[in-house]
């Protein structure tokens, strides 16, 4: 069991180190788009939360795998684990993830089709995510399950 934990830790550390490059490229990309520093920082922090924390929470997954995992993040993990989560922060985080993967698609780290699929996933399910947030806020979240 300890060996499994050490293996996971090593994979997570490698992912974090690898992700530094992607986060920096994303920040540079946002700068080139002319966004203000505060907005850039918010997008970078949200993308980092997703690729560094969520994608490595249960198992160590690479950034590229994140195009397939956004539903679990926005539908539950973000709502349950992030104490600052709100309807607004959920929407902002979803927008940051879309921007991040738009950048990753432009730089050909993920395919355009995968990026478009991620965007559809978010668009098609946003009302569900917001309903989950409302249920969490009013205490009925766990009644859904």
Assess whether pLDDT exceeds 70 at residue 144: no
Q: What is the pLDDT of residue 1?
A: 60
Q: What is the pLDDT of residue 142?
A: 67
Q: What is the pLDDT of residue 89?
A: 98
* pLDDT 10s digits, 3-38: 788 999 999 999 999 999 999 999 999 999 999 999
* pLDDT 10s digits, 88-106: 999 999 999 999 999 999 9
Range of the domain at 32: 2-143
Q: How many domains does the chain divide into? A: 1
> Cβ distance 64 to 121 under 8 Å?
no
Q: Which residues, in sequence order, are CB contacts of 136 under 8 Å at separation 6+?
A: 79, 80, 85
- pTM, 2 dp: 0.93
* Sign, Cα dihedral of 55, 59, 60, 61: negative
* pLDDT 10s digits, 41-57: 999 999 999 999 999 99
> Cβ distance 52 to 16 under 8 Å?
yes
């Amino acid at each position: 069991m300890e060996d499994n934990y050490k293996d996971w830790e090593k994979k997570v550390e490698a992912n974090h180190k690898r992700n530094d490059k992607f986060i920096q490229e994303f920040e540079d990309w946002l700068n080139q788009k002319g966004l203000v520093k505060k907005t850039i920082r918010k997008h970078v922090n949200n993308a980092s939360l997703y690729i560094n924390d969520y994608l490595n929470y249960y198992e160590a997954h690479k950034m590229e795998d994140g195009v397939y995992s956004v539903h679990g993040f926005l539908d539950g993990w973000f709502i349950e684990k992030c104490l600052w989560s709100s309807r607004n922060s959920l929407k902002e985080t979803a927008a940051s993830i879309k921007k991040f993967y738009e950048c990753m698609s432009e730089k050909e780290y993920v395919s355009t089709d995968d990026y478009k699929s991620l965007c559809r996933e978010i668009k098609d399910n946003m009302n569900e995510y917001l309903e989950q947030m409302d249920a969490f806020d009013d205490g009925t979240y766990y009644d859904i399950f």
